[in-house]
Amino acid sequence: MIFITGGAAQGKRSFAENVLGVRAFTDGSSCTPEDVLIAECVTGYHELIARLMNEGIDPMSFTERFCRENRSAAVMMNEVGSGIVPIDRGEREWRENVGRCGCIIAERSETVIRMVCGVADVIKGERQW
């Protein structure tokens, strides 16, 4: 598993496409949870987490299952937790769940990349490209 994170619009998708050679992207903001389990590359996993919460699915259990069943996946998820704690309870819980799920994905991934200004910083594992 490979995890690509970083803030919004830092070049995650271009990196996956051009450097990792990913062909098929599954959009976490619109796909079904089942799609994720067989995806080559999931984009916007943080948005998937919000949708899982709306559907009453526990995002941490789902993420554990995803990491178990789709070990070759590439996953893209933004870093969203470095702001003021939101006043809205739902927003707050979403942000915390993104943090917890991110820790799960990072732990299960052989490689974790943090994109900043289009530059890939390998923060776990070895550069394989």
Partner 1 sequence: MTTLITGGSKCGKSRLAERILSGFAGRKIYIATMKPYGDEERKIIARHILQREGKGFETLECYTDIRDADVPEGAAVLLECVGNLLANEMFTEGGMTYPSEKIVSGLRELSRRTKMLVIVTNQVGSDGVRYEEGTAAYIAEIGKVNCGIAAFADNVIECVYGIPLPLKGELPC
State the minimum distance, in angstroms, from the CB of residue 73 to partner 1. 16
CB of 6 to partner 1, least distance (A): 9
Question: CB-wise, 73 or 98, nearer to partner 1?
Answer: 98
The SS3 of residue 120 is strand
Neighbours of 15 (CB within 10 A): 21
**Which secondary-structure segment (H or E) carries 116?**
strand 111-116
In the bound state with partner 1, the residue whose beta carbon lies nearer, of 38 and 103, is 103
Identify the residue whose tokens are 């995650």: 12
Pick the closer one to partner 1 by CB: 34 or 126: 126
**Residues lying near partner 1 in the complex (CB under 8 A):** 3, 5, 7, 79-85, 95-100, 102-103, 105-107, 112, 114, 123-124
Closest Cα to residue 120, out of 1, 23, 22, 3?
3
Which lies closer to partner 1 via its Cβ, residue 9 or residue 38?
9
DSSP 42: E
In the complex, the smallest distance separating the C-beta of residue 85 from partner 1, rounded to whole angstroms, is 7
Angstrom distance (rounded) from CA 53 to CA 61: 12
Q: How far is the CB of 23 from partner 1 (least distance, A)?
A: 26
